[in-house]
Structure formats: C-alpha cells, structure tokens
Amino acid sequence: MSVLVYTESENGKFKKSAFEVASYAAEVAKQLGTSATAVSFNANENETLGDYGISKVLHIADDSLKTFNAKAYSRALMQAASQEGATTIIVSSSADTKFMAPLLAASLNAGYVPNVVAAPEATSPFTVKRTAFSNKGFAHTQIHTANKVIGVSNNSFGIIEHKTDVSVTDFSVSLDEGAFGTKSVEIDKVLGKATIADAEIVVSAGRGMKGPENWGMIEELADILGAATACSKPVSDLGWRPHGEHVGQTGKPVASNLYIAIGISGAIQHLAGVSSSKTKVVINTDPEAPFFKAADYGIVGDAFDVVPELIEKLKEFKAQNA
Amino acid sequence: MKILVCISNVPDTTSKINFTDGDTKFDTNGVQFVINPNDEFGLTRAMWFKEKQGASVHVATVGGPSVEPTMRKALAIGADEAIRVNAEPVDGFFVAQQLAEVVKNGGYDLIIGGRESIDYNGGMVPGMIATFLDMNFVNTCISLEIEGNTVTAIREIDGGKETLSTSLPLVIGGQKGLVEESDLRIPNMRGIMQARQKKLNVIEPISASKTTEDVSFDKPAPKGTVKLVDSVAELVGLLHNEAKVI
C-alpha cells in the first residue's frame, strides 16, 4: 500500500510543483512506513522524480490524455491507485488539480483536504494543517476515511531532495467515452511566462498606478525578476487588468517567496490572499496604508519615482550577479 | 431549463476571523453573513438565463435556520424558490451528498456552485455533486453559454484560460467572470417584498457520513514590524542579503 502522487507536467516537462508534491508524498510514505509512487502523464525524464524520494513512476503515455481532462485524469489515477493498492493520494493545488481532485475523492469515497501547508501532524487519526478562511486562519483537519486525497499548497512544504532508486514503468489506462464528456476546444495561455500560481516572485499593482496605460513599468519590473504580474481587486473590477491577475480573498491566493505590492493600500481581503507569501515589499505614497503593517520591507514614495529606479538598480544587480 | 444554484452562507469578506471554545470553533460573534461571493456571481448568471432564456432558478443550501436571511436575499435577487437542507454542513463531502439528493429529486439541468466558499475553502462540493450524479463538470468557470443541450464554457487555468465544449446536465464551479462585479444585484424593495411570498422549503437530510473534521484552528503569527527603507539600493541589498529572495 504505497502512497500515490500525481506529478503534473506541461509539454512533457515536470512543473516545479511536481517536485514539491513528490517530496511531500515521500514524507507521508516515510511516516506510514511505505514507499511513494508517482503517476505522470506524457512526461519526459520521469527518473528525475527519484531525486525527491519517489521509488516508482507509473508513466502514462496516451495521446488521448495530451490535454488535461479532469474526469479522464481522475479515472486514470483511480486505476493507478487500485493497481498499487494505494489509499493515500497526494496532489498539488494548481487550477487543474483543484478541478480534478473532488472527482477523484468522490469516486473513492475519500476524505479530501486541500490547501495543506505542512507534513501530516499525525497519521492516526490522520491529521493535516491547512489554510482556512482564505488564509486568515489555519485548520487542523482529521481525515476519517480509509482513502485520502491531500492537496498540498504551492510553495509551502518545499522541495526536498532525497535521492532514491527509482523504476519507471509504463502504465496503460482504459477510458471509455464517458470520461470525455467535457472536451477542450482551445487553450489561451502565454507559454514560458511565470504564473501567479507557481511564480517565485509576484509583482502586483493597485489603483495607485492611476490607469492601465501605466502598467509598462510593472511589466518591465516583473520581466527583470522573472516574476508574474498581479493586481488588486479594484484594478480588475475597473477592467485595467484581466480577472486572472486579481489577487485576494475572492481572487487568487499568492504563496510566492517575494511579493511586491505597488500602489496597493492593503484591504483585509487583499492581505488575506497574500498572507502565505514569505517576504512582502510595499511601495506606497501613504505611510498610513494598512499594507505597511503586514509587510517586511517598505518604501514610502511615489510608484512613478520608485519603480523606474528599482528597475535600474535591479538591472545593475543582475549584471553584477549574472 | 431548470437551474439549481447552490449557496454557501459565509462571513462577509471584511470579517476579522476569530476562534472560540478553545480554538475549536469559528467565532460568529459580531460577524455579518452573506451569500458566498463565488456563488453570487453564479446566481447572477442564473438570473440572466431566467430573463433571456426562460429558465427557472432554485437555490439550495445545507444549514440550520440561521442561514435563512441569506436564502431570502437570494430570493430577493430573483430566485424562484429556495430549499434548505436542515443540517449542519459538517464537511464538503457531506454537503455534496445532501445537495446531490436535492438535484436528483428536482430534475435540474444545470447546477451552479461557487469555485470555493471563502470560509472553509474546500472547493469540492460542485465536483463531488457532478461525480455522484455522473454529470459533466467545469470548475473555475468564467463564461457559460447554453444553446439547447450544448454548452460552451470557459474556465480559468493557471496563467490563462481554456474553452470547453460539453453538454447538459452540467455542474459548474463559478467565480467572478461569469458576470462582472458591476452586474451583481442589490435587492430592491419590490424584490424583498416578493421574496417573503416565495417558497423556502425545509427538507430533512439524508443519512450521510462526514469524511473530515476540523479539530482545531489557529491564526497566522503576527507579522514583525515593517522595515522602512529610504533608498531603492538599500532595498535591493536587503532582498539579496537578508531576505535572500533575489
């Protein structure tokens, strides 16, 4: 009864979160006295998962699963779990996974706990710590069912190297038409650009930018840092930036290593959404802006002066540290 | 088309969160409860289907009598009928089983839930309902068009969006984008008066087990004092040497 982990890839390449969930699965397996088996779909270099404590990879090479399909992927994982006799399944917190995991849990009669931020606190009863109230709090949650699905928050447990002998086995799944009741028609995504979900650095801006025409410097700053761009709720409501960039309680949560907030005052809903970010920098003209109370570093100043200077200084820094 | 909008009764987004009974329960003292924002975008989209395509719209929730003001608000916004399953919503799996029963008995074609509730953030109820009833499912849905049985939906993915084709019966996990913030409706006096006459059916739960249990809660450690810096050069130095994030 190994621990199963779904390791996500994109165009054949494992996502960074795949190594984090693999590390988590290895830790759970250690606590349960068993081994960790990964399931990958059309991925290359499957043996790299051995660097993170995975001892077996079930690799599914299947053209009908080239594009993510929540129901089909959930059925494939069920078949893998059944073959391995696995009762504990580890997944990430990506949009795709949050689409799929409820289907998997419902089919397996499994207790599903998403947004888990640490290794299990106990294995009997199985207890995990997760965020709740949109990052305003944490819950310690017990899972009472034999089957369990655990969704690990991005950038929470971390990637832990642990060289392990790994075997890669082809695994074929049998899926009927019923698994494909929802079909992908078109994917609109800029490839190679960091996303809010998995970026190590996020550069976010608010109404202090005065208008969408001023976002050039925000994008330039993000480019230099290899960061994703984000925005506050008013900015997305005004249509200055796409909804997908809205960060906060009703938007996306951010768990980056560095979050730079420019011209964002720091409403409670916004602060909740970014509270899992490790280092927060605030640039704001108003020294009384609530965000300063939640930040690590702050500059009181006008974004239109500070940001261009920051871009210059970071260019110099990059040149020196290249 | 018969639509069921599943609604969660949650603390207003401005609420400060506290816990009570030795940190084992959420402290509702002084908290204002509202329709979960993700559900409200879905409810507003359902109103569009009612007005443009003649759909009927019911709303359902799992909860005790204290959630009725939130149900009345949904009726005042324009839902035709409300259903309350009279049980504490102990976990997502339990709630999904109760709502799946409501769907089965009501013969709904489209079930609209929210991507997640902003309190317990489980994000599992819509997908589980779809699985229990073998219906199609689209999560993080930001656009929904229906012609006959044919559905075109757009969902948000990390870093972009994906267009999907599917068919009724369908469950969605909705969010902002289904309608805009400015499309949300504040109930007017007429709506509020009419809501008083609408049916709010209370039904007893089916026997169902919970799979998970929140045994205790805590809050993030308070942040230390912010370090205000005067120069950008100093900031870059601190980010590199102290925080080690660049």
B16, part of any domain: yes
Write down the pLDDT at residue A302.
97
Kindly determine whether residue A96 and residue B164, on different chains, have CB atoms separated by under 8 Å: no
B136 vs chain A: nearest CA distance in angstroms?
A: 6
Contacts of B77 (CB under 8 A, 6+ apart): B43, B44, B47, B185, B187, B191
**Whole-Å CA distances, A138 to A250, B109, B167:** 18, 36, 38
H/E stretch holding A310: helix A303-321
pLDDT at B160 over 80: yes
Write down the pLDDT at residue B223.
82
Write down the pLDDT at residue A20.
98
CATH class of A201-321: alpha beta
We report the CATH number of the domain holding residue B204 as 3.40.50.620
- Domain-by-domain residue ranges, chain A? 3-180, 201-321
B104 vs chain A: nearest CA distance in angstroms?
A: 16
pLDDT at B215 over 90: yes
Stretch B222-228: mean pLDDT? 91
Q: Is A94 on the interface with B (CB under 8 A)?
A: yes
Name the percent of chain B lying above pLDDT 90: 98
The domain tally of chain B equals 1
CA angle B34/B35/B41 to nearest 5° reads 135
Q: Please give the sequence-ordered ranges of beta strands (E in DSSP) within A63-200, or none if there are none.
A: 88-91, 111-116, 122-123, 126-132, 137-143, 148-152, 167-170, 183-189
H/E stretch holding B190: helix B189-197
pLDDT at B224 over 90: no
Q: B96 is written with which tokens?
A: 């999904």
Question: How does pLDDT run across A227-282, given as a tens digit for each residue?
Answer: 999 999 999 999 999 999 999 999 999 999 999 999 999 999 999 999 999 999 99
Kindly determine whether residue A310 and residue B235, on different chains, have CB atoms separated by under 8 Å: yes
Chain B hits for A153, Cβ within 8 Å: none
Q: Is the pTM of this model over 0.95?
A: yes
Residues (pLDDT < 50) of chain A are: none
Q: Is B221 on the interface with A (CB under 8 A)?
A: no
Which domain range does residue B107 map to? Answer: 2-220
Instruction: Say if residues B110 and B1 touch (Cβ distance below 8 Å).
Output: yes
Nearest CB partner across the interface for A269, out of B13, B38, B217: B13
H/E stretch holding A224: helix A216-225
Nearest CB partner across the interface for B211, out of A144, A185, A268: A144
Mutate to test the interface with A, among B38, B170, B225, B245 (most CBs of A within 10 A): B245
d(CA B83, CA B68): 10
Q: Is B39 on the interface with A (CB under 8 A)?
A: no
By DSSP bridging, strand B9-11 and strand A137-143 are: unpaired
d(CA B93, CA A114): 13
Chain A hits for B126, Cβ within 8 Å: 102
Q: Is A109 on the interface with B (CB under 8 A)?
A: yes
Among A residues 178-207, those touching chain B with beta carbons less than 8 Å apart: 178, 181-190, 193, 195-198, 200-201
Q: Which chain B residue's Cα is nearest to A298?
A: B228
Write down the pLDDT at residue A211.
97
Confidence at B205, pLDDT banded by 50, 70, 90: very high
Q: Is B90 on the interface with A (CB under 8 A)?
A: no
Kindly determine whether residue B137 and residue A131, on different chains, have CB atoms separated by under 8 Å: no
Mutate to test the interface with A, among B35, B111, B180, B211 (most CBs of A within 10 A): B211
Question: How does pLDDT run across B55-95, given as a tens digit for each residue?
Answer: 999 999 999 999 999 999 999 999 999 999 999 999 999 99
d(CA A230, CA A206): 9
Write down the pLDDT at residue A322.
76
The reply to whether A3-180 and A201-321 are identical in fold is yes
B130, part of any domain: yes
B21, part of any domain: yes
pLDDT at B176 over 80: yes
Question: How does pLDDT run across B6-38, given as a tens digit for each residue?
Answer: 999 999 999 999 999 999 999 999 999 999 999
Amino acid identity at B246: I
CATH class of A3-180: alpha beta
Write down the pLDDT at residue A1.
78
Q: Which of A76, A83, A78 is nearest to A106 (CA)?
A: A78
B187 vs chain A: nearest CA distance in angstroms?
A: 21
Write down the pLDDT at residue A48.
98
Q: Is B224 on the interface with A (CB under 8 A)?
A: yes
Question: How does pLDDT run across B106-131, given as a tens digit for each residue?
Answer: 999 999 999 999 999 999 999 999 99
Among B residues 151-190, those touching chain A with beta carbons less than 8 Å apart: 152, 155-167, 173, 175-177, 180-182
Q: B157 is written with which tokens?
A: 């993915």
How many H helices and E strands in chain A?
Answer: 7, 18
